[in-house]
Structure 1
Amino acid sequence: MELIVKETRARFDTEAVKMGYALYAKHASWDNGRTGVVTAVTDTTIIAMFHPGIGNVINHFAIPVSEVERGEWDVRWSADLSEVNELKATEGEE
Structure 2
Amino acid sequence: MQKEEVFRCAANQTKEKKPNLHVAMQSLQEELYYVWRKLAMWIITVHSKSNLTVFEFDTQKEAKEAFKRIQGYKILTEVIYFNDHSLVEA
Is the structural similarity TM-score above 0.5? no
State the structure with bigger RCO (CA 8 A, min sep 6), 1 or 2: 1
Between Structure 1 and Structure 2, which shows a larger proportion of helix residues?
2
Report the TM-score, using the length of structure 2 for normalisation.
0.28
Report the TM-score, using the length of structure 1 for normalisation.
0.28
Of structures 1 and 2, the larger Rg is shown by 2
